[in-house]
Amino acid sequence: MGSHAEWIDGEVILIPSDTLAHQRTMGFLLVLLSWVIEEKNAGRLLHRFQMKTGPDLPGREPDLAYVAPGHIERVRETFINGPADLVVEIVSPESRGRDRGDKFYEYEKGGVREHWLIDPERRTTEFYVLGDDGLFHGAGPDRGVYRSVVVEGLSVKVDWFWKIPPLREALAELGLP
What's the CATH number where 130 sits?
A: 3.90.1570.10
Distance linking the first and last C-alpha atoms of the chain:
41
User: Would 8 be classed as within a structural domain?
Assistant: no
User: Would 49 be classed as within a structural domain?
Assistant: yes
What pLDDT is attached to residue 71? 97
User: Would 1 be classed as within a structural domain?
Assistant: no
Mean pLDDT of 33-43: 87
User: pLDDT (tens digit, 9 = 90+) per residue, 53-112?
Assistant: 998 888 899 999 999 999 999 999 999 999 999 999 999 877 787 888 889 999 999 999
Q: What is the spatial distance between Cα 111 and Cα 6, in angstroms, rounded to a whole number?
A: 19
Q: Is 64:27 a contact under the CB 8 Å cutoff? A: no
Domain range spanning residue 88?
18-172
User: Would 37 be classed as within a structural domain?
Assistant: yes
Three-state secondary structure call for residue 34: helix
User: Would 12 be classed as within a structural domain?
Assistant: no
User: Would 7 be classed as within a structural domain?
Assistant: no
What pLDDT is attached to residue 101? 86
User: Would 168 be classed as within a structural domain?
Assistant: yes
The strand order across the sheet containing 11-15 reads: 11-15, 4-8, 59-60, 51-52, 80-81
Q: Largest Cα–Cα distance in the chain?
A: 46
Q: What is the spatial distance between Cα 64 and Cα 47, in angstroms, rounded to a whole number?
A: 5
Mean pLDDT of 14-38: 83
Q: What is the pTM of this model?
A: 0.86
Q: Which is more confidently placed, 173 or 70?
A: 70
User: Would 60 be classed as within a structural domain?
Assistant: yes
Q: Is 62:53 a contact under the CB 8 Å cutoff? A: no
User: pLDDT (tens digit, 9 = 90+) per residue, 109-144?
Assistant: 999 999 999 999 899 999 999 999 999 999 989 999
Q: How many domains does the chain have?
A: 1
Cα 75 to its chain centre, rounded Å, is 16
Q: Which is more confidently placed, 29 or 39?
A: 29
What pLDDT is attached to residue 2? 43
Range picked from 38-47, 116-125, 166-175 for highest mean pLDDT: 116-125
